[in-house]
Structure 1
């Protein structure tokens, strides 16, 4: 069939579909079938195929399954690490106690050697989740590698140094940025000299996401952090050979499947544009994902398993290079063995049974996903430019400007949940009966500290509804 024949057949099929839709609508407008995202992007029920936009820069290979290790007892964390690696994990995400996502738990820096004693670290991908002390932990890990006489060039190691997210989480220490910037630049230079390959720095959007930011603002936060770290590396005098692989992006994956796919694809497009504008030679852009903390619920916690599966699917389809899944008991405290195992199995089923990785960028050419990706990238870029106009991410955070915009987005989203416009299954629709906390090893420790005014809070969207139900 000729191109004109294909076009005519497609038009005839669409016309037939519309006739059936109009009959089903019974006089209601076609616009009733158009859904809108929280950012205001319209998603039509039928969008013509689009020219694929290349969002991937790697072949059809599985993403790395990372298991989150955050137990404060070194012996227990060591056992959990080996259990995860023997159970199918490709690597470990080590969460230290000062990391914004530790939530009162996490590994002590002094326990690093004991934790990794039985782990073959040159054969196991490792990601460090750190906070204000990220540079110190990176130096400790480098010393551990040297003590074992391991060639750093053989390792798959993400150092996860991210002072800007740590400042945003605690709402203070912004004035330390100039000194911190210089110290981290010098550290990265030393690590590169020792043949570590990176990534060394993480442009992490998870804290913005947890504070209630919509997807465009999360991407803008990541882009602004990425640019800030590029400047840091340039000030340290590092060449393109180091800078090109020095920074990774980190995103939250939630149960809004299409938006999460578009988010990961849009992030890659934005970072590619930033790298090109910075004069960096073409190279892979590394993106790590973690399932969303803010989407988890305490009421009907088993529904968190479904949310995590959708989020992991979307992150994988969107092009995550590595992924960690939170246990379904995350909102109750420190997870026990069964929730950790299910978190890992969620990824294994998607990779080994669903074979999700075998198609590169499976959404490419989908009219709705391509349009959503481009619209999201354009809006996120506009918000990124607003942060740059304020002097960059550190300056915007210091002035409280970005926190104020995210607070507005958070209030709007919570109001939509309270009004029932946004549904949380098991909480504000089909509420489940209260149940005892499932398998956890310890509840969250009580926090006595008052949150500073400029801190980006960590919230769960269902908290208010859960309190009302109680």
Structure 2
């Protein structure tokens, strides 16, 4: 039998050869000119995220090796599956919690006080929960001290008391007092650094990391000033981060978070200390429209959280934006994790992304960007001062504005919301969830602009309708009819298609011309003027802007879809 040579007869692949091939493709597409160099071609394909971190199109072993990864704190058995409960009905919460614990959940995240179970009903909510086996993380806002006292009185043995002073959950002296009480109980922590509030306000990954880092350092100072040793203070903190459907971004964020906190611990004289991470699938990415797509988003986010090394993961139910989840939604949320742990074996490898040049590079770039913002916060007097002065809010607001711009132009598409919406959907009915305010930062959702437009269209006495005036045979206009239909549906606007002379009978107030570039050159102006004279208040054209008489505006890939829809609905 002859020797199997595989690729040995092929020439060795090099980065330089790849760059030349890329340049050739970009020249053919018109993105690069004949004078462009291979390096310029690579630059054209390099993207920059909200943190200013450049993401190259190709990552190789060339250059310095990546720094060693920070070890994970969890075991090979998997992460802690933690379910969130916020039903004010304490008896219903107890029943749901027991069902979760009996079916794979390891710990509970219990919302108390305003927006959750009344603190004086905590014992009822925990009825039947074996507190020596199941950990409980409290989330009680201003009532944190009372909730912590009630939890300890009920025999709570593990979890987190939930003090987070900068988020309005108790105060630092009170947190320090409880930390001293539970310092000798290794399974119980007193404080959480909840970075979700920064993420929900629109922060980038590096901003979320930097704010958590600055908050953690401030809490360390407060705990050690109250008499705890550095080691005891470090052991009292748990960090809560958001996981999004950007799986590589999430993986890099969690790895960068451990690297950053290890640097803080080392500076404090405790180089062996590790960061405990509770990762929650992003509420900001969850959609109120076509909520079933949220299952895909949360699965991606959960996978990324597991690969990124989370110690505990909470998957928000797919109906999170609609109200209190039902039993089916909670079951899907917990089973998503069980399948990834038990069947996909995601947790069996200590650091699955370690050694990936792309992930290592992104981790390092993110860590550097976060450290720069962290030092700026420290230079401004620390996290408390940066929050009170508005420094943090202003920085995050600028990032949100940039993100909202990309969402409006559909450069950051949202399936079921800005892309491929279902105009005939029937949303599942859920009990209203109590509203809860955490701190003074705003709460955003990525699809909020489109969702407001959909709500506005749904509230109209009759469904707003646009007439798609077609030019030429179906082969010439079908593509743009589909594009326009999808865009208008994102704002709850229905469409009716037909020839130009059918507009008057349609009853629509707005028209949109759909055809090919060739038909536009010959017929667009005449069609637009005929539609306007026939009573159309606005006449749009599906295509790139041009010199056409009678056209109000243009629909094209990359246009401001939110602005278009607002104008149409007006």
TM-score bin, normalised by smaller chain: 0.7 to 0.9
Q: Which residue in the other structure is 1:185 paired with?
A: 176
Match 2:150 to one of 132, 137, 140: 140
Kept in 2: contact 1:397–1:403 (CA 8 A): yes
Aligned-pair CA distance for 1:204: 1.2
Match 2:96 to one of 63, 80, 90: 80
Aligned-pair CA distance for 1:352: 1.0
Q: Which residue in the other structure is 1:264 paired with?
A: 254
For normalisation by structure 2, the TM-score amounts to: 0.71
Q: Which residue in the other structure is 1:165 paired with?
A: 167
Aligned-pair CA distance for 1:456: 0.3
Aligned-pair CA distance for 1:44: 2.2
CA-to-aligned-CA distance 1:124-175 (integer Å, 9 cap, x gap): 1222223122222112111111xxxxxx7xx4312221121237xxxxxxxx
- Residue 72 of structure 1 aligns to a residue whose secondary structure is coil
Match 1:322 to one of 312, 315, 328: 312
Match 1:409 to one of 379, 399, 402: 399
Aligned-pair CA distance for 1:311: 0.6
- Residue 385 of structure 1 aligns to a residue whose secondary structure is helix
Question: Within 2, Cα distance between the matches of 1:459 and 1:51?
Answer: 35
Alpha carbons of 1:386 and 1:18: their partners in 2 closer, same or farther (altered >3 Å)? closer
- Residue 154 of structure 2 aligns to a residue whose secondary structure is helix
Question: Within 1, Cα distance between the matches of 2:146 and 2:125?
Answer: 17
Matched, 1:465 2:450: yes
Kept in 2: contact 1:261–1:317 (CA 8 A): yes
Match 2:129 to one of 119, 124, 130: 119
Q: Which residue in the other structure is 1:131 paired with?
A: 141
CA-to-aligned-CA distance 1:390-442 (integer Å, 9 cap, x gap): 211111111222111111111111111112221111211222225232252x1
Question: Within 2, Cα distance between the matches of 1:127 and 1:183?
Answer: 17
Matched, 1:363 2:365: no
Kept in 2: contact 1:130–1:162 (CA 8 A): no
Q: Which residue in the other structure is 1:48 paired with?
A: 60
- Residue 142 of structure 2 aligns to a residue whose secondary structure is coil
Q: How does 1:18-417 map to 2 (within 5 A)?
A: 18=19, 20-27=21-28, 28=32, 29-49=41-61, 50-51=65-66, 53-58=68-73, 59-98=75-114, 105-145=115-155, 155-166=157-168, 180-192=171-183, 195=185, 197-417=187-407
Q: Which 5+ residue runs of structure 1 have no aligned equivalent?
A: 1-8, 99-104, 146-151, 168-176
Structure with higher RCO (Cα < 8 A, 6+ apart): 1
- Bigger CA radius of gyration: 2
Aligned-pair CA distance for 1:303: 0.9
Aligned-pair CA distance for 1:109: 1.0
Q: Which 5+ residue runs of structure 2 have no aligned equivalent?
A: 1-9, 33-40, 454-490, 493-570
The number of residue pairs the alignment matches comes to 431
Kept in 2: contact 1:55–1:361 (CA 8 A): no
Q: Which residue in the other structure is 1:428 paired with?
A: 418
Matched, 1:443 2:432: yes
Kept in 1: contact 2:255–2:363 (CA 8 A): yes
- Residue 302 of structure 1 aligns to a residue whose secondary structure is helix
Kept in 2: contact 1:78–1:116 (CA 8 A): yes
Aligned-pair CA distance for 1:55: 2.6
CA-to-aligned-CA distance 1:429-466 (integer Å, 9 cap, x gap): 222225232252x124579xxx99x8201111101112
Alpha carbons of 1:79 and 1:33: their partners in 2 closer, same or farther (altered >3 Å)? same
Please give the root-mean-square deviation of Cα atoms over the aligned residues, in Å: 2.3
Question: Within 1, Cα distance between the matches of 2:269 and 2:452?
Answer: 51
Q: Which residue in the other structure is 1:174 paired with?
A: none
